[in-house]
Amino acid sequence: MKTTDPQFIYLILVLPALFGLTLVGEGINKILRNDGGFVNVLFGLVFLVIVIFGYYFFSTYFGAKV
């Protein structure tokens, strides 16, 4: 599988980004219900930052036109 294949981009970037957004959404839901949730939001944001870093890494070093 090449780094420019859509399957590679989907597996490496889109699915983890959706997981990070799910964590953030669940954390916000818990915060609104006064059940805590700050840890979920923090981990979700960290996960999204890692996905963004991965996007720049793959687009810069492997020449993927994403």
* pLDDT reported for residue 4: 66
The answer for residues whose C-beta is within 8 angstroms of residue 34's C-beta and 6 or more apart is: none
pLDDT at 65 over 60: no
CA 13/CA 18 separation, integer angstroms: 9
* pLDDT reported for residue 44: 95
Name the residue ranges covered by the structural domains of the chain: 6-61
pLDDT at 63 over 80: no
- Contact, 47 vs 20, CB < 8 A? yes
**pLDDT one-digit tens code per residue, 22-61:** 999 999 999 999 999 999 999 999 999 999 998 888 777 7
37 φ/ψ sector (left φ>0, alpha ψ -120 to 50, else beta): left
**pLDDT one-digit tens code per residue, 5-23:** 777 777 888 888 999 999 9
